[in-house]
Amino acid sequence: MSTGRVFAVEPWVVREPRLDLDRMGQVESVFALSNGHIGLRGNLDEGEPHAMPGTYLNSFYERRPLPYAEGGYGYPESGQTIINVTNGKLIRLLVEDEPFDLRYGRLRRHERVLDLRAGTLSRDVEWESPAGRVVRVRSTRLVSLTQRAIAAIEYEVEVLDAPALVVLQSELVANEQLPSRNEADPRVEAALTDPLVAEQHASAGAGAYLIHSTRRSGLRVAAAMDHEVHGPETAEVTSEAAEDIARTTVIARLEPGKPMRLVKYLAYGWSSRRSLPALHDQVRAALAAARYTGWDGLAAEQRAHLDEFWETADVEIEGDAELQQAVRLATFHILQAGARAERRGIGAKGLTGEGYDGHTFWDTETFCLPVLAHLAPHAAADLLRWRQSILPQAYERAEQLGLRGAAFPWRTIRGQECSGYWPAGTAAFHINADIADAVRRYVLATGDTVFEREVGLELLVATARLWRSLGHHDSAGEFRIDGVTGPDEYTAIVDNNVYTNLMAQQNLRYAADVAARHTRVAARFGVNAEEMASWRDAAKSMRIPYDEVLGVHPQSEGFTSHAVWDFENTPAHKYPLLLHVPYFDLYRKQVIKQADLVLAMQLRPDAFPPEQMRRNFAYYEGLTVRDSSLSACTQAVVAAWTGHLDLAYDYLAEAALVDLDDLAGNSDHGVHIASMAGTWTAVVVGFGGMRMDEAGIHFAPRLPPALSRISFGLNWQGRQLRVEIRPDEAEYRLVSGPPMRLGHHGEAIALDGEPQVVPIPAFDPPEPVEQPYGRAPRPRLPGNATRRTFPEIAMPQAAVVAGMDEELRQTG
């Protein structure tokens, strides 16, 4: 197995300076291009070798059976799995009848570059065939952020030693042979083998198209290609099509120094409703528009779109070049995941791989949407419109469970529940409050009251009704929510999970406030003053457990009385714990998979005074093993807020580098979209100290000693802001928009035309905190591995270990 870093460290590109066949899967994920509608993994142009060929369309899936050893009422009967659709990336090359295959002959040079400003993946190769013929291949690939249905490839081949007969075969291939999933149930494997049924195919001139439908989910997909050929006048171009393959072949004899250039235009479309002729016409029209724009025009549109995006979104970091690159890559992938999703979800891997079957979780609202709300607000709004569109399925699920309102699915593609694992899956009702929180954050960030009325209100009413029927008032008058699972899946089916209760409390209050602002619309949903009062009453009397002896909030009722996990006698190879110990043992011990109560403090800081936040953070640091990639970014935020700046820096790096360094060892399944979003949050919300509420936006910046400067931009209610943090001062600049006021460490700052530079107040560093034995983050600086604890809450000394991954979550 290869070791060491795959990518060169550069500020605006991710460069693979040489080919490493052992790391192909990781590179294919990192180099994936997407616009939220189309996703192309970073496979080689010729298709082979590969780790996992991948061409995806957002929400295009096949149904598969969900096997159970023992069934139960309410268990979903079938799941949904994203599938590899027609592959249009393929351009095969033959030189004097020898296939261009990097496993044969001699590879003189191979470099690929993901350009974060151009939005392209480029490749430069020099290859000597087994017969001694030398060629140079240069290609550039893009998935258009401006023309939603379009991807394009510019491919150039040049012979370097002597004239040669060259053949290019540009293809569309459906039902590609994929690596086995090793499913325990053969029915699942069968459901996903050759999932596309041919309906129509044709070729004409320099192009062709294929139309297929799925066997079980009833979806139809069309893929079309067209080409421009620039080369010798004697070049011959032909096209052909069959059920699962279409091919355009270009044959020419090339002279040294006279390259042949091929431009390939690809169009994709799918629908569950449109007829075959309509879908055919759709992709043909998209191809016509792409050809009209031309390769140079598409590339120019892509660069202009990204220039505008980066003007606001860029995060500048001085003092850590590796982290600078990682934060920009993360921001780029978040944009790719949501830019043109247009009322469809964002999967846990975006469109970069098949991890989690392409399902959307609560990650979308809690991690991704807050970033998009400030950097690409239209995309954030569309994600919530998607949630509104699947309300019928959520209503149906709630009714099945005997509840009012809507029960949103724990994991899904098209709205149906696809999690067959109740304790750590469907019982995590907090997803309803996470969606409500996303509505609140989007409206705060944008000031979009029309959205609040037309989309947000319905989501808030549906989720508030769920909480009112799920919880109950006990004999003491407190409102309890029992038998649920919070974000930490090592503690399942508990009473009064603090995260769940606090988020439900906010959901109920906000729903009542918004319904009161829009009474006529609320009345259409049957909301009256009595129901709003019941929501407020439940929120006011919400039970929030507190351990008076330890002076901390238990993660859930009775959690702090459980036995503490034996961390010192748990060797490193036993992590992640879920693969090596029974769940019942995890459920009854104090051991935490991912930040739970700490995430509650990040999202509801109003509920925790500063000293309480410090005590809680210290306690839960000693119990959290981070068997999930969702944890480090949250721990980074609260570590920064509580003054543990070096620790926050370590956690930020872990979140940012999870895919660039393949810290979890499974980036070949797709990048960790939520961790990438959390990277931005760790910088802006953590070190920037950003919080927002009905009174406005507030910052409390502090810089970790290792960094000399952080600068970031964001959109706020029609304005563009830029914040710069230096060791002793912060600068706030209103780039565009009307004058405003913001908070800086509790003081009001007025922004108009001139930047405001204000000092950062000094603070007393807190006592160091401890992580479980062997579970500390990798230190970014020498000496960061040694930390002491609060004397009241002793936890064992920790050693360094790489972060683990949410991929291993057992939810279906």
Bridge partners for 64 per DSSP: 79
Among 54, 222, 226, 36, CA closest to 147: 36
Q: Judging by beta carbons within 10 Å of its beta carbon (0-12, 13-18, 19+), is residue 184 exposed, middle or buried? A: exposed
Q: Phi first, then psi: what are they for 404, rounded to 5°?
A: -90, 170
Which residue in the list 489, 531, 724, 806 is annotated as catalytic? 489
Q: Given the structure tokens 């959109």, which residue do they identify?
A: 715
Q: CA–CA separation, 730 vs 703, rounded Å?
A: 10
In the residue annotation, 240 being an active-site residue is answered as no
Rounded to whole angstroms, what are the CA distances from 105 to 101, 128, 239? 8, 6, 29
Q: CA–CA separation, 791 vs 755, rounded Å?
A: 44
DSSP 140-157: EEEE-SSSTTEEEEEEEE
3-state secondary structure of 743: strand
89 is in an annotated binding site: no
Contact 151, 141 (CB under 8 A): yes
362 is in an annotated binding site: yes
Among 128, 150, 143, CA closest to 32: 143
Give ∠ CA 88-287-351 in degrees, rounded to 5.
45
DSSP 524-551: HTT--HHHHHHHHHHHHTB----BTTTT
Q: CA–CA separation, 185 vs 523, rounded Å?
A: 49
- What residues contact 296, with CB distance under 8 A and at least 6 apart? none
307 is in an annotated binding site: no
Q: CA–CA separation, 179 vs 32, rounded Å?
A: 18
Among 366, 250, 280, CA closest to 673: 366
The two three-digit tokens of residue 126, written as one number: 């020099």
The two three-digit tokens of residue 657, written as one number: 């580098």
| Phi-psi group of 62: left, alpha or beta (phi > 0 → left; psi -120 to 50 → alpha; rest → beta) | beta
Report the length, in residues, of the chain.
812
At 29, which helix (H) or strand (E)?
helix 24-30
Composition of the chain by helix, strand, coil, percent to 5: 35, 25, 40
Strands lying side by side in the sheet with 747-751: 691-693, 696-699, 740-744, 747-751
At 8, which helix (H) or strand (E)?
strand 8-9
565 is in an annotated binding site: no
Q: b or e along 426-452 (b: 16 or more beta carbons within 10 Å of the residue's beta carbon)?
A: bbbbbbbbbbbbbbbbbbbbbebeebb
Give binding residues for substrate as ranges: 362-363, 593-594
Binding residues are 362-363, 593-594
Catalytic residues: 489
